[in-house]
Amino acid sequence: MITIVLLAMLAAAFFASWNVGSHDAANSMGTSVGSRIITIRRAVFLLSIFVVLGAVLQGNYIMDTISRGIVKFENENAAAQLAENIGLPAGVAPTPFSLLPWAAVAATLSASIWVLLCTYLGLPVSTGHSLVASLVGAGLAISMLGSPAIATAGVSVNTAKFTQILISWVITPLGAIGFAFLFYRITNRMLRRVRSVTSFNTIYSTLTIATACYMAYAFGANDVSHGVGVVLAVAPSLNVSLLALFGAVAMICGAVMYSSRMIETIGKKFTILSPSTAFAAQFGAAMTVLIFAWLGMPVSSSHAIVGGVIGAGLVRGTSTVSGKKIGRTSLAWVLTPFVTMGISFALVAIFGGI
């Protein structure tokens, strides 16, 4: 039975996924467009195909982390009793957000508000960091301000998992910088015998489009959970594949309607990209994101592609990379978890029904 609160959660998730698509589509296609290999229209078409494939085939890995791994019950027996009282299907383990769904709506909207603002400002922040921090803020609000019944179940933030995620956040851009630099060196040496500049650029252009599709797949696998993962926390019995498809469609809508600003930022504002450096940046970022997706870690495709672009730019020297743009972006990265955590805590305290 579809309830009002589930409809509200799905609406919030669609809005969140729309934001993920508008903000993070550039992470897959920005380098291809910035190096003038393909047009934005063709880039979005390719993105749509591979985002759906990544979301449906591999999106479940991180959805489990988002829905159950960050905010948890300490007393499972008390939680099971609460779940029975609200009519959760037998055999379905409850989550704090399945008992307090309006808190999940508030957390999802908190992340969405910040991501939308950063999209408007052209700052490539992490949708994953925004959502995880929002969930932490909601979890803290529930544990500190919850009813006696909720207190009996013992809602808490999974500090071990959160620490692992924090470490992965630091490693992501550094790993992408290293991969991009390394892949450029390797492929450039392998293709050194190609004497024709036209043939050289054609090979790299083909490789860049292929890795853009690879990154779009990684984007779907990793980022679909940033929009719809919390829905699974509210309604654990939902079909994960259908939920992933729902999120992927919303991401595509965002990419089609409002991704051009971020594509401009990724493709042109950090460094000038050629087909060879665009390929290295894209492939380095995709490798980083997929490694963490396999590990079930919700890392940032934005951090990965920014790291990849910087790593590719460093091949030609530090002077080719915009220090000013890196500084503004780094500040936004640092602010992101604190801002979304604070907004989420406040919204849950006011509207969460705890």
Query: Of the ranges 98-102, 271-275, 277-281, which one carries the lowest mean pLDDT score?
Result: 271-275
Residue ranges of domains in the chain:
17-338
**Burial status of residue 100 (CB atoms within 10 A of its CB: 0-12, 13-18, 19 or more):** buried
Q: Tell me: the pLDDT tens digits for 137-169?
A: 999 999 888 777 777 788 888 888 888 878 887
Q: What is the pLDDT of residues 179-213, one digit of tens each?
A: 898 888 888 888 877 878 788 788 888 888 888 89
Closest CA to 71 of 12, 155, 127, 5: 155
pLDDT tens digits, one per residue of 49-79: 999 999 999 888 788 888 888 998 888 777 7
| CA–CA gap between residue 244 and residue 227 (Å, rounded) | 9
CA dist 75 and 231 (Å) reads 22
Q: How many residues does the chain have?
A: 354
